[in-house]
Amino acid sequence: MSTPSTPPPGPAGPRIRSVNTARAKAVGYTSTESGLTGIDKRPVAGPVRVTAPPGRGTGGVSGLADDFVGDRRHHGGPDQAVYAFAREDLDRWETALGRPLADGCFGENLTTTGIDVSGALVGERWRIGGSLLEVTCARIPCRTFAGWLDERGWVKRFTEDAAPGAYLRVLEPGEVRAGDPVEITHRPDHEVTVAFLFRARTTAPELRPRVIAAGGALGSEDLERARVWAKAAG
How far from 75 is each of 57, 134, 157, CA to CA, in Å?
A: 8, 17, 21
> Is residue 83 predicted with pLDDT exceeding 80?
yes
What is the number of other CB atoms lying within 10 angstroms of the CB of residue 99?
11
> Is residue 106 predicted with pLDDT exceeding 50?
yes
pLDDT at 38: 74
pLDDT at 7: 40
pLDDT tens-digit series, residues 151-169: 999 999 999 999 999 999 9
- Listed in sequence order, the DSSP H helices in the chain are 87-97, 143-149, 154-161, 194-201, 220-232
pLDDT at 9: 45
Q: Assign 159 to helix, strand or coil.
A: helix
CB 166 within 8 A of CB 194: yes
d(CA 83, CA 216): 19
pLDDT at 5: 39
Confidence category of residue 74, pLDDT binned at 50, 70, 90: low
pLDDT at 69: 80
| Percent of the residues in the chain that have a pLDDT greater than 90, as a whole number | 76
pLDDT at 88: 98
> Is residue 113 predicted with pLDDT exceeding 60?
yes
Q: Which of 28-37, 59-68, 76-85, 124-133 has the highest mean pLDDT?
A: 124-133
Amino acid letter, 223: L
Torsion sign across C-alpha atoms 87, 168, 24, 15: negative
pLDDT at 72: 60
- Average pLDDT on 182-188 reads 98
pLDDT at 28: 65
Q: Which of 66-75, 139-148, 219-228 has the highest mean pLDDT?
A: 219-228
Q: At what angle do helices 220-232 and 194-201 cross, to 10 degrees?
A: 60
- Average pLDDT on 194-218 reads 98
Lowest mean pLDDT among 6-20, 95-109, 154-168, 177-191: 6-20
Q: Assign 151 to helix, strand or coil.
A: coil
pLDDT at 89: 98
